[in-house]
Structure 1
C-alpha cells in the first residue's frame, strides 16, 4: 500500500489516481488559489478527491464516502471529521478548482481505434439533457421546477449540454444552465471546442440557419438532420443522389433517404433528410453518411451512464448553487476518468472496438480499488491497463446487434405502468435497408 503521507493519506481515488495524480490536483489548486497557507486536518487536495469519490458512491453521504476512502488505510493515524467539517471544507474549496480540473481532463480520449474516425474525421455529437437538483430555497432561486400536467415537477432541474467524441464517448466539453437557457444557446457556447477535422452530428433541433453558420465557422464539418418537408433550393444534382443547396448563405449538401426496418412483425419505413457541409460526393458519398449518422445516438448512451449507472436516477446531493456546480464538474470529471481507463484497456488489443467495454464493469472495479486503497501510486513500470482494465477486458460486451427500439425490461421497477400496460417487450431479428431519394427533376 502506497499512499500520500500524513493528513493527505485519505486523498486518493484508488487506481484512478494515476489518471488524476497528486501533482495535477496541486497544480489546479495553485492555479485557482485554493492552496492553504497552513496544512489543515482536511487539506484542499483531500477534499478534491472526496468530491470525486462522492460521484463514484452517489448513494452515500459524504461521511460514508470518507469511510470508503479510509477503509483500506488501517494502521495509519487518520482524522475522523464530522459531517459539518466535511461540509465546511467543501464550501471553502468552492467550484472553481473542480471546474479547472475538468478543463484539464476533458477532450477526446487518445486512441488508435479506427472506429472513432471516418475518413480521417473525428466523429463528434452534441445534445442536451436534464439533471434533477435538490429542492431547497438556495437552489430554487436559480433552478426552477418544470411545469407539467399536474402543476410543477417535484424537484428543480437544470439543462446540461455536452459535446462528445462518438467512438469513445469521452467528453470534449460541457455546459449547464437553468432550463430557461435553451439547447441552442448552449450549443453556441460549445462551439468554442469545435475544430477543423471534426464531423459534428446533431438532431433536427440544431438545424437552424444561424446556428449552422456559427458551428460551421469553427472549421468543423457538420452532419445534421432536418425536417423532411423543409424547402431547400436544388442548385445541383449529384450522382450519389444528393443535391447541392444553400442555407443562410452557407453552401451545403442535402441527402434524402427512406430507411426501412423489417422484422417478423412487419416493415416500418421512415423518411430522413440530412444536411452536411461535406460538399464532395466523391470523397464523402451519401450511402456512407446515412448509416454514419446513427453514431449520433452515442450521446444518449453516455447520458444513460451518467444519470442511471453513476447517479442511479438520484437527485444531486448539493443544496446550494455553488455546491451544484462543484458536484456536476466532479461528476463529469469522474465520467471522463472512467472513459479514459476503458479506452486504455481496449486500446491494448489492436482492432478492439471501444464500444465493447462495459461502463458498469469499469465503475464497479473503480469503486473496489478505492475501498482497498489499491493502485494509487504507479510502479516504475507503468501499466496503462491496470486492474480496472483487466476487469473490462475480462467482461467485454458482445458485438452490437441491430435494435429496433431502446432496451426494455420485462419487469417494471415501479408498480405504476408509466409507459402503459401494452408495451411489446419482445426481441426481433431485424434487417435494415436504405434507399436514397433523388430530387425530382
Structure 2
C-alpha cells in the first residue's frame, strides 16, 4: 500500500483539488492524492482510490479495505498504521507488516528467540469514543532492525526501521525473512514511475481542464496500465519467468505501435508483444542499487542535498539487516536479492 500525487491543469475549477504549500510559496499546480494497493510480484493494481489533495492516505486506504483479503500480506510505510486503520485492516483477514514510527510507545511483553518481540498496543484515550465496538488493545509482534548499506562510491548508510505485524508465530515467520521481505515495499515506487513517467511521457501535468475530465483521464491511464500489466503477467506465467524480468517500456511501445497500425488484429498484437518481451528479458537477479533522495529545486530556506554523482543511483556492494532485540546482541541476516531505496 502506497500513495502518490498527480498534478493537474491549473484552471479555476481544478483549484478544488488543492495545492501544497510551505512558509514561502505555493505549488504551481493543483494535485490529486492517489493511494494504490499494488501486487509486488507483478506490480498489478489490486485497488486504487484518489481524491482531492487534503484527503489523507489513511482515509483513502479505508476505501480499499475490501481489497485486502485473507492470504495477503500487506506492506505499508509508517504514514499508515493509525490505530483505527490497523484494527479495521486486520479485521478483514489479511496479514499486515507495516512500518511504525519510533515515537509510538511499545513495551516488550515477551522477547522471541529470533530477536522480535511481542507487545500490546493500546488505543489512545482520545479516540475511545470512536472505537465503536473495536478493541482498546491489540497484540502485535515488533521487529526492530537496522539496514546497513555500503555502496560502490564508498558511502555507508545505517537506517533504523521498526516494523509491526499481525504474524505472531516466529517459527513459521522468522524475523529475518520478514525484515528482508519489507524491502519489496519499494516495488510501489517503481510502479508509480511506470505509471506517471514511462506511460504518461514528458507531460508532467494532466491535461484535463475540469474535475470531471480529470477523473476520467486518471481512470483511462489506470485501465490502460492494468491491461499492459495483465499481458506481462500472462507472458511471464506462460513461460515460467519472473514478471520482474519483462520490461514495461517494451510492452508499452508495442501497444502504442499496434494501436497506430489499426489493421493489426488483437491476436497478432498479443503475439508481437509476447515476442518483444521475451527478446528483451532483464537479468535473472536484480542488481542491488541505492539512490539517495535529493531536492533539485528546493523551495524552503533549509539546505538541500547536493546535486551530482552523490545523488544518483549507485551499485550496492554490501547489504545486510541487523535484527535488534534490545536485550541481546544483534543477530545478522544477509539478503542478496532485495531492493533498497
CA 375–303 in structure 1, closer or farther in 2 if over 3 Å, else same: same
Q: Which residue of 1 aligns with 2:57?
A: 183
| Pairing partner for 1:402 from 257, 271, 288 | 288
Partner Cα distance (1:419, 1:394) in 2: 39
CA contact (8 A) 1:241 1:436 kept: yes
| Pairing partner for 1:328 from 212, 215, 218 | 218
| Pairing partner for 1:143 from 2, 14, 17 | 17
CA 319–172 in structure 1, closer or farther in 2 if over 3 Å, else same: same
**Larger relative contact order, structure 1 or 2 (CA cutoff 8 Å, min sep 6):** 1
Structure with the greater alpha carbon radius of gyration: 1
Q: Aligned pairs, how many?
A: 302
Partner Cα distance (1:130, 1:428) in 2: 28
Query: What is the deviation of 1:241?
Result: 0.8
Q: Does 1:432 align with 2:340?
A: no
Query: What is the deviation of 1:404?
Result: 2.0
CA contact (8 A) 1:224 1:276 kept: yes
| Pairing partner for 1:389 from 263, 266, 274 | 274
Query: What is the deviation of 1:429?
Result: 4.2
User: 3-state DSSP class of the match of 1:297?
Assistant: helix
Q: Which residue of 1 aligns with 2:162?
A: 273
Residues 373-417 of structure 1 deviation map (CA, whole Å, 9 limit, x = unaligned): 2543448xxx9x521121111111223111122699xxx9xxxxx
Q: Which residue of 2 aligns with 1:215?
A: 89
Residues 160-205 of structure 1 deviation map (CA, whole Å, 9 limit, x = unaligned): 1111111100001111111111111111111121111110000011
Residues 78-119 of structure 1 deviation map (CA, whole Å, 9 limit, x = unaligned): xxxxxxxxxxxxxxxxxxxxxxxxxxxxxxxxxxxxxxxxxx
Q: Which residue of 2 aligns with 1:133?
A: 8
CA 149–233 in structure 1, closer or farther in 2 if over 3 Å, else same: closer
1:263-302 alignment, distance < 5 Å:
263-264=151-152, 265-302=154-191
Q: Does 1:153 align with 2:31?
A: no
Partner Cα distance (1:137, 1:317) in 2: 14
Residues 327-371 of structure 1 deviation map (CA, whole Å, 9 limit, x = unaligned): 111111001001011111122222x21111111111101000111
Residues 252-279 of structure 1 deviation map (CA, whole Å, 9 limit, x = unaligned): 1011112211235153222111100001
CA contact (8 A) 2:287 2:315 kept: no
Q: Which residue of 2 aligns with 1:305?
A: 194
CA contact (8 A) 1:357 1:393 kept: yes
Q: Which residue of 1 aligns with 2:66?
A: 192
Residues 259-310 of structure 1 deviation map (CA, whole Å, 9 limit, x = unaligned): 2112351532221111000010111110100010001011111111111011
CA contact (8 A) 1:167 1:355 kept: yes
Q: TM-score, normalised by structure 2?
A: 0.83
Unmatched runs of 5 consecutive residues or more in structure 2 = 123-136, 297-303, 329-341
Partner Cα distance (1:191, 1:304) in 2: 24
Partner Cα distance (1:218, 1:274) in 2: 20
Q: TM-score, normalised by structure 1?
A: 0.65
Q: Which moved more, 1:239-248 or 1:370-379?
A: 370-379
Query: What is the deviation of 1:420?
Result: 4.1
CA contact (8 A) 1:128 1:160 kept: yes
1:361-372 alignment, distance < 5 Å:
361-372=250-261
Unmatched runs of 5 consecutive residues or more in structure 1 = 1-125, 413-417
